[in-house]
Chain A
């Protein structure tokens, strides 16, 4: 399996459904992999897999929603599309809250399904891109010294150099020096960008 290449993973205990789904997706040129049970999928899935997941809600042993939980626990970020013959409002709400892309009822219109798949794939791509970016960001953040990190928090909190210096017990000058170095390490050109970046990284402000 080529991890780089995105695929659609179908999990359904009903073979007829699997076969038909595979055929349909293949017909639009998608790569498909089918699994007869949630367990089977979990056994094989890795975080590198990209693409999306089509899951039946009701399956013996482990149902769709449980699979969804399991994925998030294992930090497998594949977007999930629920497909079910009998769906209830609570189930769908739970699914959506847990981050499902869509909740479809069988028999499903092909176009509806394909749209959902595309959306899911998009999301996955986006997610992965994000992930890569985040990785870089984190690498760069890692290069900051503790002191720089500290200053960073002041800067993104909107503190003036003068204030930061006072609070940190250093001179304005030093702060300015730190600021420049931070900007350089993080390859930011503006304060706004720095703030955005910090926010993305999830660095907390002082307030």
Chain B
């Protein structure tokens, strides 16, 4: 059952399919009969074209089925009457009784045939003609019941295109046959060529045999082109298929051949404005359809179909070397070779695709490779860089303090060589001005290593960048921004082509810069180089700091060493246990013993002290450790050669930061010279004092003489009186006795004066003792009594009770008092005062000081004089050396006091001196 159903359905399906075939021709109508009459023989390529076109057009648009009949009249080859008759007969035979619905003559031969015989052969059949030339039509006048397609060939267009392709053309050769159709085309050609006859040489090879034609076209001169029209028959009467004839001609030709029909393209012509037979046919077919549908032919206008395509054979273009660009726009170019593409599209495509893919793969691989290479290179570089970094770090870490500088230079060398540039420099920021001083440098040979500091005025921008901590890099000075104008100029001056400047900072503190420069040729910096160099910069910065620190340390040590060893004084450092820790080399010069001797024997110092001074040394030594202020002591030492030296010793206990006592620091200075000088000075002072005493005394001669004279006189008188008393008759023994007593007293008195005088005049060393100033003043005043009386000068005394004693040389105090008294008196002498009075006052000024003042009523002092009077050789007196006050000052000063002068508020001046109060134990 199922099988039956299957069969049935299958059959039904088949039937449906089959019926579908016919379904298209749905209304079952009788087929229309269309008779195609071709002018030429069957095997004519053009016929095929026409045929295709006609059938296409007729079949496509119709609902009715069409029965095609085709007849090839071959009239071109057989124009004779006999043939014609046979033909007519044939046709009659064939088609009598058949009603032809449409006649389509193709070509003018067929058309004229129908004109002549159509009515009889095919009565009433409408005609749509095809491929009839224009010329042929007119004379023939379209008969009724006919229309069609008139074709015309565009020789002009082809020629124009050909001339465009070959603008140098001088000759045109027209090839054509001798058949009637040939001649028609030749007419058209002549017509078209007429305008060119002036410019171009036109030759018609239209009456020759094929052989002749072939021979002609093969030996054409240059700048020639051939226009092939048609060749149905040559002059010998040989028939040809125009296409075949073309092929032969084209093959033989030595110039490009142009043609007029589409069918010819590919058979030898270059191309031209081509006529398409297929189109012709199609047009005719369409018109035929309309006729079949009922339209009357005479109502369908004749179609004048021109050519409308420019077509060219690519192979011919190549053969003759003609440019495609000279072709008219929109031209078809066929037969392109070597179309691997054309022939083997798929293969080509796949090959292309394959190649493309291969190419892409290759490109991809290449890119990848390149990228990898680059990465590898970068890695390699990075590795090198890291290695350099590590090396540098290691170098600097391991380096000795004093080799840091050398290592820095080595590092710079490595860096410079690594980067392939010319010079690397390390700069240190120093000074108040913030100057960049180059401290280290390495340059390739031939390049100057050092240069002046990175001055503010030469490189302001770079400096500011550094100070802000920003690196600066440029491959050419031009790359720097506008504000770095000055820098650019300086770089050009210095010959720097490229540079990289990296600021160096340690712990955030900016300490300097690293500059790397190329001077011979510019260097393009990798963009990432500057940050990469930062760690190197830090290494250098640290090294630099180390170098600086090391230098400072070395300098510091050197300083201390110099200070210690080159000290002029003998310095030593004594440990708490009494041994010596350090002795300066000067000890040898001073003591005559080498430092090692003291280090070996700490007690040596005491031993060389002169015995008298050793007690004092012992006492001092006990105290030195207790008193933090330090102690001073003077003593004498004896050198190995026996000479004595005066030493001023000062020492101080030393404590460390924790306050622990770590020894005594002492300094021994050789003051022998000073002492000698002091002693010499003292001697001189005493000598001078003595001299002035003598001189002063000279001024007091009157007083002195008087002092002595008085008792002397008295002695004389007493003696003489006594004698007289004795010579009396009754000698007055009482008187004599008294007289003698007085003599003795007066003699003593005189003696005392002399004694005092002698003492006063004594030269030599001072003998200091505890002196009562009041006493000295009174004695000295007595000395001056005479002088004062003579000048009517009075001395008034205001002497303090219980005045403390002073430690002084009596004679020298006397000298000072005398001097001041005389000065006061003389001040008043000059002034001629009425009441000449000197007030001498002693008082205890304070706990430690005693003051003696001499107040006069003289002219007083100006502020200028106040100090000037103490200058040596300053005097307002006519006589006198002017030394008195100078010496007085010197004397008092040597006793630890001072002398000064003041003007009085009322009149005159007061000169005063003060001396320290004498204390027990004072030395």
User: Measured between alpha carbons, how far is A201 from B715 in the docked complex, in Å?
Assistant: 48
Q: A16-B710, A20-B714, A27-B724 are in contact. Are A59 and B789 (CB under 8 A)?
A: yes
Q: A19-B742, A21-B717 are in contact. Are A85 and B735 (CB under 8 A)?
A: no
Q: A16-B742, A24-B720, A110-B720 are in contact. Are A58 and B714 (CB under 8 A)?
A: no
CB–CB A26/B721 < 8 A:
yes
Counting chain B CB atoms within 10 Å of each CB, the highest count among A28, A58, A109 belongs to A58
CB–CB B786/A58 < 8 A:
yes
Closest B residue to A57 using CB positions: B790
* Chain B residues closer than 8 Å to A26, beta-carbon distance: 721, 735
Q: Does A6 sit at the interface, judged by CB under 8 A?
A: no
CB–CB B718/A86 < 8 A:
no
CB–CB A23/B717 < 8 A:
yes
Q: A23-B721, A28-B724 are in contact. Are A17 and B714 (CB under 8 A)?
A: yes
Q: A63-B789, A86-B705 are in contact. Are A17 and B721 (CB under 8 A)?
A: no
CB–CB A106/B790 < 8 A:
no
User: Measured between alpha carbons, how far is A19 from B745 in the docked complex, in Å?
Assistant: 12
CB–CB B735/A17 < 8 A:
no
CB–CB B742/A20 < 8 A:
yes
Size of chain A's interface in residues, with CB distance under 8 A?
24
User: Measured between alpha carbons, how far is A99 from B709 in the docked complex, in Å?
Assistant: 25
Q: Does A107 sit at the interface, judged by CB under 8 A?
A: yes
Q: Does A202 sit at the interface, judged by CB under 8 A?
A: no
User: Measured between alpha carbons, how far is A171 from B706 in the docked complex, in Å?
Assistant: 72
Q: Does A14 sit at the interface, judged by CB under 8 A?
A: yes
Enumerate A25-60 residues with CB–CB distance to B below 8 Å. Answer: 26-28, 58-60
User: Measured between alpha carbons, how far is A83 from B717 in the docked complex, in Å?
Assistant: 13
CB–CB A106/B710 < 8 A:
yes
Contact of B710 among A17, A23, A63, A113 (CB under 8 A): A17
Enumerate B694-746 residues with CB–CB distance to A below 8 Å. Answer: 701-703, 705-706, 708-718, 720-722, 724-725, 735, 738-739, 742, 745-746
* Chain A residues closer than 8 Å to B594, beta-carbon distance: none
CB–CB B735/A20 < 8 A:
no
User: Measured between alpha carbons, how far is A110 from B22 in the docked complex, in Å?
Assistant: 214
Question: Which of under 10, 10 to 19, 20 to 34, or 35 or more describes the interface residues of B?
Answer: 20 to 34
Closest B residue to A59 using CB positions: B789
Distance in angstroms from A107 CB to nearest chain B CB is 4
CB–CB B718/A20 < 8 A:
yes
Q: Does B649 sit at the interface, judged by CB under 8 A?
A: no
* Chain A residues closer than 8 Å to B715, beta-carbon distance: 20, 107
User: Measured between alpha carbons, how far is A26 from B735 in the docked complex, in Å?
Assistant: 10
CB–CB B745/A16 < 8 A:
yes
Contact of B706 among A19, A23, A60, A85 (CB under 8 A): A85
* Chain A residues closer than 8 Å to B710, beta-carbon distance: 14, 16-17, 85, 106
User: Measured between alpha carbons, how far is A119 from B1 in the docked complex, in Å?
Assistant: 224
Counting chain B CB atoms within 10 Å of each CB, the highest count among A19, A20, A85 belongs to A20
Q: Does B410 sit at the interface, judged by CB under 8 A?
A: no
* Chain A residues closer than 8 Å to B721, beta-carbon distance: 20, 23-24, 26-27, 110
CB–CB A23/B735 < 8 A:
yes
CB–CB B712/A107 < 8 A:
yes
CB–CB A108/B739 < 8 A:
no
Distance in angstroms from A94 CB to nearest chain B CB is 13
* Chain B residues closer than 8 Å to A14, beta-carbon distance: 710, 714
Enumerate B70-106 residues with CB–CB distance to A below 8 Å. Answer: none
Closest A residue to B750 using CB positions: A16
Closest B residue to A88 using CB positions: B702
User: Measured between alpha carbons, how far is A109 from B706 in the docked complex, in Å?
Assistant: 17
Q: Does B683 sit at the interface, judged by CB under 8 A?
A: no
Q: Does B685 sit at the interface, judged by CB under 8 A?
A: no
User: Measured between alpha carbons, how far is A109 from B785 in the docked complex, in Å?
Assistant: 25
Enumerate A1-26 residues with CB–CB distance to B below 8 Å. Answer: 14, 16-17, 19-21, 23-24, 26
CB–CB A110/B717 < 8 A:
yes
Closest B residue to A62 using CB positions: B792
CB–CB B716/A110 < 8 A:
yes
* Chain B residues closer than 8 Å to A19, beta-carbon distance: 714, 718, 742
* Chain A residues closer than 8 Å to B739, beta-carbon distance: 20, 23
Distance in angstroms from B899 CB to nearest chain A CB is 29
Distance in angstroms from A39 CB to nearest chain B CB is 14
* Chain A residues closer than 8 Å to B785, beta-carbon distance: 60
Q: A16-B746, A28-B724, A59-B789 are in contact. Are A108 and B735 (CB under 8 A)?
A: no
Closest A residue to B788 using CB positions: A60
**What per-residue 1/0 map shows which CB atoms of A88-132 lie under 8 Å from chain B?**
000000000000000000111110010000000000000000000
User: Measured between alpha carbons, how far is A106 from B746 in the docked complex, in Å?
Assistant: 14
Q: Does B749 sit at the interface, judged by CB under 8 A?
A: yes
Counting chain A CB atoms within 10 Å of each CB, the highest count among B703, B710, B794 belongs to B710
CB–CB A86/B702 < 8 A:
yes
User: Measured between alpha carbons, how far is A18 from B175 in the docked complex, in Å?
Assistant: 197
**What per-residue 1/0 map shows which CB atoms of B774-800 lie under 8 Å from chain A?**
000000000001100110101000000
User: Measured between alpha carbons, how far is A113 from B792 in the docked complex, in Å?
Assistant: 28
* Chain A residues closer than 8 Å to B706, beta-carbon distance: 58, 85-86
* Chain A residues closer than 8 Å to B709, beta-carbon distance: 85-86, 106-107
Q: A16-B746, A23-B735, A63-B789 are in contact. Are A106 and B720 (CB under 8 A)?
A: no
Distance in angstroms from A77 CB to nearest chain B CB is 26
Closest B residue to A12 using CB positions: B710
Distance in angstroms from B706 CB to nearest chain A CB is 4
* Chain A residues closer than 8 Å to B792, beta-carbon distance: 63
User: Measured between alpha carbons, how far is A53 from B714 in the docked complex, in Å?
Assistant: 18
User: Measured between alpha carbons, how far is A60 from B714 in the docked complex, in Å?
Assistant: 19
User: Measured between alpha carbons, how far is A16 from B705 in the docked complex, in Å?
Assistant: 16
Closest B residue to A14 using CB positions: B710
Closest B residue to A63 using CB positions: B789
CB–CB A58/B705 < 8 A:
no
* Chain A residues closer than 8 Å to B749, beta-carbon distance: 16
User: Measured between alpha carbons, how far is A113 from B710 in the docked complex, in Å?
Assistant: 15
Enumerate A162-198 residues with CB–CB distance to B below 8 Å. Answer: none
Distance in angstroms from B550 CB to nearest chain A CB is 88
Contact of A16 among B701, B708, B714 (CB under 8 A): B714
* Chain B residues closer than 8 Å to A86, beta-carbon distance: 701-703, 705-706, 709, 786
* Chain A residues closer than 8 Å to B712, beta-carbon distance: 106-107
User: Measured between alpha carbons, how far is A60 from B781 in the docked complex, in Å?
Assistant: 13
Distance in angstroms from A4 CB to nearest chain B CB is 26
* Chain A residues closer than 8 Å to B717, beta-carbon distance: 17, 20-21, 23-24, 107-108, 110, 113
Contact of A85 among B713, B716, B738, B746 (CB under 8 A): B713
* Chain B residues closer than 8 Å to A27, beta-carbon distance: 720-722, 724-725, 735
* Chain A residues closer than 8 Å to B786, beta-carbon distance: 58, 85-86
* Chain B residues closer than 8 Å to A85, beta-carbon distance: 705-706, 708-710, 713, 786
Q: A16-B711, A85-B705 are in contact. Are A60 and B789 (CB under 8 A)?
A: yes
User: Measured between alpha carbons, how far is A156 from B794 in the docked complex, in Å?
Assistant: 56
Closest A residue to B795 using CB positions: A60
* Chain B residues closer than 8 Å to A83, beta-carbon distance: 713
Q: A23-B739, A24-B724, A27-B735 are in contact. Are A106 and B713 (CB under 8 A)?
A: yes
Counting chain B CB atoms within 10 Å of each CB, the highest count among A59, A107, A108 belongs to A107
CB–CB B790/A107 < 8 A:
no
Q: List 29 A-B contacts (CB under 8 A).
A: A14-B714, A16-B710, A16-B714, A16-B745, A17-B714, A19-B718, A20-B739, A23-B738, A23-B739, A24-B718, A24-B721, A26-B735, A27-B725, A58-B790, A60-B789, A63-B789, A63-B790, A63-B792, A83-B713, A85-B710, A85-B786, A86-B702, A86-B706, A107-B709, A107-B712, A107-B715, A108-B716, A110-B717, A113-B717
- Listed from nearest, the 8 A-B pairs whose CB atoms lie closest are A85-B709, A20-B717, A110-B720, A27-B724, A106-B713, A16-B714, A23-B721, A20-B714
Q: Which residues of A contact B (CB under 8 A)?
A: 14, 16-17, 19-21, 23-24, 26-28, 58-60, 63, 83, 85-86, 106-110, 113
List 15 extra interface pairs beyond A20-B718, A85-B706, A85-B786, CB under 8 A: A16-B745, A17-B714, A24-B724, A27-B735, A58-B706, A58-B786, A60-B789, A63-B789, A83-B713, A85-B710, A86-B701, A106-B710, A106-B713, A107-B716, A110-B720
